[in-house]
Chain A
Amino acid sequence: MILGVVGMVNAIVFAVAVLIALLGGAGLVSARQPVHAALFLVLTLFGVAVLFLQQGAQFLAAVQIVVYAGAVVVLFLFVIMLLGVDRVEVRALVGSGWRVWAAAVGVIAVLAELGFLLAGHEVTGAEALAGSLSAGTNLGVLARSVFTTYVLPFELTSVLLVIAVVGAVVLARRIRVEDGTKHEPREEVGS
């Protein structure tokens, strides 16, 4: 074989991960129940995590599994259960006529344009200031970059997370009037 054993294993892992990711993506788009869509999303995230791992981004693969497939999808499932929106949609895709085709044509056009961009050359070719990837272990290099060059954005993410949590609490709480009864949501006038 031209590839050798390691190349063969790499190719097989790549093919399986891509298959899993694309299967999950197609399932997410076409699933009729939101619960199924969330589970297909887990499948995709797992496939992408394997691709991360294959490219030497071990830390990001672990974070992808823990944060995305763990926390984020559980949050999605929790909201789906909370709202009780387990009703099956009549059709997964709206219109199922010209609108779907128009969406497909638009998406393919954007991807074709991206392909043309990819075939071009790098814009500047300048060296980035983040540091070289091969200077040490993946986690060490990443940590050094985050805590030195990007320490200010890193600290600002804590502000962002606090704002997000407070905003979610404000959005999701029920408004109560002073006599303790629940505030009835206003009926929508007309349709």
Chain B
Amino acid sequence: MIPVSWYLIVAGLLFGLGAFGVLVRRNVLVMFMSIELMLNAVNLTFVSFSRALNDVGGQVAVFFVLVVAAAEVVVGLGIIVALFRRRSTVTVDDVARLKG
């Protein structure tokens, strides 16, 4: 079998790519997708440790992360749609002010 540390390195690289995307992109949709990428990298870590420790708890955690991520996507896209209706933009630099 492939050693667990290799999976963890891959998960770390994916997480780094996602974090980099959130930091350097300004399109709010792409930032949101980068967050999904980070969540997925953490899921990979959970599954790897679940296999390493022979414990199903990690996979249960991934299950709940998937559910919460689905809810998060629904609410986040609702916010993006509302934002676009109000300001006609999806660039976060254009919505830097907190005033409604």
Interface residues of A, Cβ cutoff 8 Å to B = 7, 10-11, 14, 18, 21-22, 25-26, 28-29, 31, 34, 37-38, 41, 44-45, 48, 51-52, 54-57, 59-60, 63-64, 67-68, 71-72, 75-76, 79-80, 82-83, 85, 89, 92-95, 99-100, 103-104, 106-108, 110-111, 114-115, 118, 128-134, 138, 141-142, 145-146, 149-150, 153, 157, 160-161, 163-165, 167-172, 174, 185-186, 188
Known A21-B10, A168-B74, A172-B78; judge A106-B23 contact (CB<8 A): yes
Partner of B74, one of A7, A34, A37, A165: A165
Shortest Cβ gap from B89 to chain A (Å)? 9
Residue interface mask B50-89, A partner, CB < 8 A = 1: 1101111101101110111111111101111110111100
Known: A26-B17, A72-B69, A134-B54. 10 other contacts (CB 8 A): A22-B10, A45-B40, A51-B7, A57-B51, A60-B62, A63-B66, A85-B90, A93-B25, A130-B57, A164-B71
Known A57-B59, A111-B16, A185-B85; judge A94-B44 contact (CB<8 A): no
Secondary structure type dominating chain B contacts: helix
Q: Which residues from chain B contact A107 at a C-beta distance below 8 Å?
A: 16, 19-20, 23
